[in-house]
Structure 1
Amino acid sequence: MKLLWILLVSAIFLNANTIQQEDITKQAIVKIYTVAKIPNYLAPWSSTMQSSTGSGAIIEGGYILTNAHVVANQAFLEVQRYGQRKRYIAKVYAVSHQADLALLKVEDEKFFKGVVPLTFGSLPEVEQKIVVYGYPMGGSTLSATIGVVSRVEHHVYAHSGESFLAVQVDAAVNPGNSGGPALSNGKIVGVVMQVISKSQNIGYLVPVDMVKHFIEDMKDGHYDGFADLGLGTQKLENPAMRRYYGLDDNISGKLIDKIIYNSSLAGILKEGDILTAINGHNIENDGTVAFRKHEYTDYHYFVDAYQMKQSVTLDIIRDQKPMQVQAVLKNTADDMYLVKTTRYDVMPSYFIYGGYVFSPLTRNLIRSTARNRLKLSCLAAKWKEKEKDEVVVLLKVLASDMSRGDNNFGMWVIDKVNGEPFKNFKAFYDKMKAVKDGYIVLEDNDGVKVIIDKKEAQEKQNAILKKYNIEYDRSIDLRDETK
């Protein structure tokens, strides 16, 4: 009887401790109210205001951890503690649109009174139990859903379009959950970022390893980002290809078929080298590495683990001879691709000339329209070249008497101005402004032309802008240069 009584008291004590711990955890969960200024990439001089909510968690240092997409393009932020009705003004302290992570700060110290910040755990195992906290649609109070980790592997982050390690979970995740913490044993193991809408309970977390990398990166007050080696590679699963390069069954890796001209590995690696290992971790023929026993993911896992300006060791085979080289991490994906990754927190660049609207090609623009999408998407997959590091498009033509016959042009890629190629949008703008008189001839690689009478364009520009209620003929980044 005495033993039964001891067991009963112990059970009550443990349950009370569990309830107390859960209440402490809830105190650190935050609801985020965002008013965002959303740019219109098809009419780059305009924008709309949009209100939304998300979730976050108070962590050590007086920060609120959330998703970048919760606060992207923000104009005004408020945060609200669990169990309270007062909202506090918040500001973005740091953001990684690459990894869909952000840190917020609240200046009013009353906001943090009585809160025990949440701490970080380690990368969760498959089948490990997790609890997701947040403020999803369907109600206004705190929600908690329980699930397990389904898999851990590289996945495309919807916010940036880049591929990083992600944790798939089966816990119910809905709009509003974004930015909320996923906890295991009371510690953060990930941050809710996205859900597959046409599925049954498939959600994704930014894993704690990515969160720690981001926070470490920001300790100097400057965001450097996650590195890209600047290499194009091919799988080595085909038997004929393996025989061609003299590879036996004991050698696995990826074929290097492209080295970007501005990569830190340019002049160190050669096309045709076989990349076999990174920091001593063997690369399989499908391009994966074992990051845990029996678990594989993309070999960039061992690049993402390091901060910018650090170095990694690459094992390669060149002319059937093994070698080692050091790769200093200096570049992000934006440094490498012809079309930059998705932009946030900035208004798009544009230039209007006689009603012809020009813009650099961005992924935001490609996402905004289905017009000419196949060709533009192909360009988005290409690398920069020394002579060309940005694509320029004739976005649209504002109908007027001087543009008759050209009104069907839209999302049209321009390759030459008066017969001369250009490197980027700024160089294109300079060439357009440099034409003194006569005609401006715009041309694509197929020889299709658009011809603008400079004198007529200048004479009618203001009337066209007024007709379409456009205040400025160029974006603020170009206006700043004219001062």
Structure 2
Amino acid sequence: MKNIITLAFIFFFSISVEIQSKPTPVGKDDNFIVQVKSTVQYPNLIQPWRFKNPETRHSYGVIVGENLILTTAQTVYYHTNIEVQKFGSLKNYVAKMIKIDHDLGLALLKVEEKEFSTGLTPIQFGPEIFLASTGIVLEYKEFRNLSEKKVRTIKLDVDTYTNGYIELPFVEVQSDDKLEGIGELVVDEVSKIPQGILIYFKDSQNTGKMVPNFTINQFLNCNISKKCFSYKGFRFRPLTDASSRNFYGLKKENSGVLVAEIYPDSSASSSLKLEDILLEAGPYKIDPKGYFEHPKYGKILLSYIFHSEEDLGFGKDKKIPLKVLRNSKIINIDFEMKPFPESAIKIPFGNTRYRKPEYLILGGIIFLELSEHYLMEFGNQWRTRVSKQLLYLNDYHRINRIGEDKKIILLSQVLPIPGNQAYHSLQQVVLKKVNGKEPKDLKELFQIANSGEDSFLIMELDDGTGIVFEKEEVVNLNNEATKVFRIPKSHNLSE
């Protein structure tokens, strides 16, 4: 299948990083902060055989083990080179990425040179967050001295990081100082115990987000080859109005939320049903807006129960007892937690999850699988520049239905050569059928196009347009298109 450009970075290592999580105060003379600089080169999703111009990204890194550095994922996405600089040294050390979590937005790096660890003190994150307290943000720039800035931890909540798929715990912080939100370490002002990593800060509002210590520990201690966090597998709708509560048979003494969407192959797909009412999760009652009362931190969205892992003791590969109202009857469910099912995504959105684009050339015509990342390539005003049909699909059909496993294949553009002149005006049209079959993804499209059953390749588009080529003609047009537009020959369908 070398003819399809299938470039996706997946990190499967057989080792795990064992990092103990004991609360350790940070000493004044300890050296545990580094600077991370990476050269990145993002793919061009409109011309997926090309890359964009290289960029340089900067962030802070925290030493969490021997030659191990914790930093932000955005810094090393699509990296071609990663360099690390220690405080008080002018030498740049080459690092490699050994683990990344796309939903958490953190990455773990390693420097192979043994001398790198000289003078560095790994820190350890504790399990407890000190809320409504003052913290110290530690940072430095190049060879200058370390600086300390004040920050206030406000509350614990859940939300998606870096446009990920999973809502994960975060601590809302405030500061009157100018912060960057690129991996700065935050320590408690009194105890000097590390509290978390700052990954976002907006100066105009003086607020930001910090990844809490127990979530960091979950990432550091999980096996490199596996996903670190569980996902509840459903979306819910509040039940705050009396009419809805009465319709579903919810009694006055009960409260809960409506299961409105279930992700296929997820934790919820085998145990919950649409229009179930979730009343309790573990020992916690769910209120009509979807919140529960945390024993330490107050009201938090119910996703925290399923995704907090270390804090409440529920998490991946464990079971949570649920109390559910189904058809006006209360039932008890042992809800098994699983990681996020990537197969549930029909149209990728949010962050790219480090994927590089797949595409296929047929008769000099570029086909790819629709994603929000492709649509965003049309600039800041992309919603006004792309097909209304594609906008609708992106907004309302991102998730596969139960039992469905199908991508949306898009005719992106026609490379203008004489042999496909009749189709030069086509762009951004959904492919419906090929030789009477509906391919579920690019791989299946490739198989249909190369099967020996038909001498013609007949493609039907969603707008009613038909495209017809002889099979031999497709090979010649591909060769011509790759030569004229300098697409590497190894990417040619005929190779």
Q: Match of 2:333, SS? A: strand
Partners of 1:387 and 1:381 lie apart in 2 by 12
Does 2:187 match 1:183? yes
Preserved CA contact (<8 Å) 2:433 2:439 = yes
Does 2:273 match 1:270? yes
Per the alignment, residue 437 of structure 1 pairs with 455
Q: Which amino acid aligns with 2:429?
A: W
Q: 1:289 to 1:328 in 2, by over 3 A?
A: same
Per the alignment, residue 5 of structure 2 pairs with none
Deviations 1:182-221 (A, max 9, x none): 2213222121212346x33222122222211112223xx4
Partners of 1:21 and 1:272 lie apart in 2 by 50
Paired residues, number: 452
Alignment match of 1:325 (pick from 322, 330, 333): 333
Q: 1:326 to 1:473 in 2, by over 3 A?
A: same
Alignment match of 1:316 (pick from 307, 313, 324): 324
Per the alignment, residue 148 of structure 2 pairs with 144
Alignment match of 2:282 (pick from 279, 283, 287): 279
Partners of 1:72 and 1:174 lie apart in 2 by 22
Does 2:336 match 1:336? no
State the shift of 1:357 in Å.
0.7
Preserved CA contact (<8 Å) 2:290 2:301 = yes
Alignment match of 1:116 (pick from 101, 118, 121): 121
Shifted more, 380-389 versus 74-83: the winner is: 380-389
Q: Which amino acid aligns with 2:110?
A: K
State the shift of 1:32 in Å.
0.6
Aligned-CA RMSD value: 2.8
Per the alignment, residue 355 of structure 1 pairs with 364
Partners of 2:469 and 2:241 lie apart in 1 by 52
Does 2:101 match 1:93? no
Does 2:178 match 1:160? no
Shifted more, 280-289 versus 27-36: the winner is: 280-289
Deviations 1:141-165 (A, max 9, x none): 6443211123322223225354322
Alignment match of 2:62 (pick from 57, 66, 71): 57
Q: 1:159 to 1:255 in 2, by over 3 A?
A: closer
Q: Match of 1:212, SS? A: helix
State the shift of 1:225 in Å.
3.2
Preserved CA contact (<8 Å) 1:120 1:189 = yes
State the structure with bigger RCO (CA 8 A, min sep 6), 1 or 2.
2
Q: 1:396 to 1:135 in 2, by over 3 A?
A: farther
Preserved CA contact (<8 Å) 1:351 1:473 = no
Does 2:36 match 1:28? no
Q: Which amino acid aligns with 2:363?
A: G
Preserved CA contact (<8 Å) 1:73 1:344 = no
Q: Match of 1:415, SS? A: strand
Partners of 2:179 and 2:409 lie apart in 1 by 38
State the shift of 1:99 in Å.
0.6
Alignment match of 1:66 (pick from 68, 71, 77): 71
State the shift of 1:126 in Å.
4.2
**Residue segments in structure 2 that go unaligned for 5+ positions in a row:** 1-24, 310-314
State the shift of 1:270 in Å.
2.6
Question: Which TM-score applies when normalising by structure 2?
Answer: 0.83
Per the alignment, residue 476 of structure 2 pairs with 459
Partners of 1:441 and 1:251 lie apart in 2 by 55
Q: Match of 1:52, SS? A: strand
Per the alignment, residue 423 of structure 2 pairs with 406
Q: Match of 1:210, SS? A: helix
Q: 1:206 to 1:21 in 2, by over 3 A?
A: closer
Q: Which amino acid aligns with 2:83?
A: E
Q: Which amino acid aligns with 2:432?
A: D
Q: Which amino acid aligns with 1:71?
A: V
Deviations 1:73-94 (A, max 9, x none): 2222111111221121211121
Q: 1:241 to 1:23 in 2, by over 3 A?
A: same
State the shift of 1:123 in Å.
4.8
Q: 1:28 to 1:264 in 2, by over 3 A?
A: closer
Partners of 1:460 and 1:134 lie apart in 2 by 56
Does 2:374 match 1:365? yes
Preserved CA contact (<8 Å) 1:338 1:379 = no
Partners of 1:299 and 1:166 lie apart in 2 by 14
Partners of 2:466 and 2:131 lie apart in 1 by 57
Preserved CA contact (<8 Å) 2:38 2:76 = yes
Shifted more, 119-128 versus 319-328: the winner is: 119-128
Partners of 1:158 and 1:114 lie apart in 2 by 33
Does 2:231 match 1:223? no
Q: Match of 2:338, SS? A: coil
Q: Which runs of structure 2 are paired with 1:41-56 in the superposition (5 Å)?
A: 41-48=45-52, 49-56=54-61
- Return structure 1 stretches of 4+ with deviation > 6 angstroms: none
Preserved CA contact (<8 Å) 1:391 1:425 = no
Alignment match of 1:397 (pick from 414, 434, 442): 414
Q: 1:357 to 1:108 in 2, by over 3 A?
A: same
Q: 1:54 to 1:261 in 2, by over 3 A?
A: closer
Per the alignment, residue 195 of structure 1 pairs with 201
State the shift of 1:108 in Å.
2.0
Partners of 1:439 and 1:389 lie apart in 2 by 21
Q: 1:334 to 1:267 in 2, by over 3 A?
A: closer
Partners of 2:461 and 2:402 lie apart in 1 by 20
Q: Which amino acid aligns with 1:313?
A: P
Shifted more, 109-118 versus 461-470: the winner is: 109-118
Partners of 1:190 and 1:244 lie apart in 2 by 45
Partners of 1:331 and 1:428 lie apart in 2 by 29
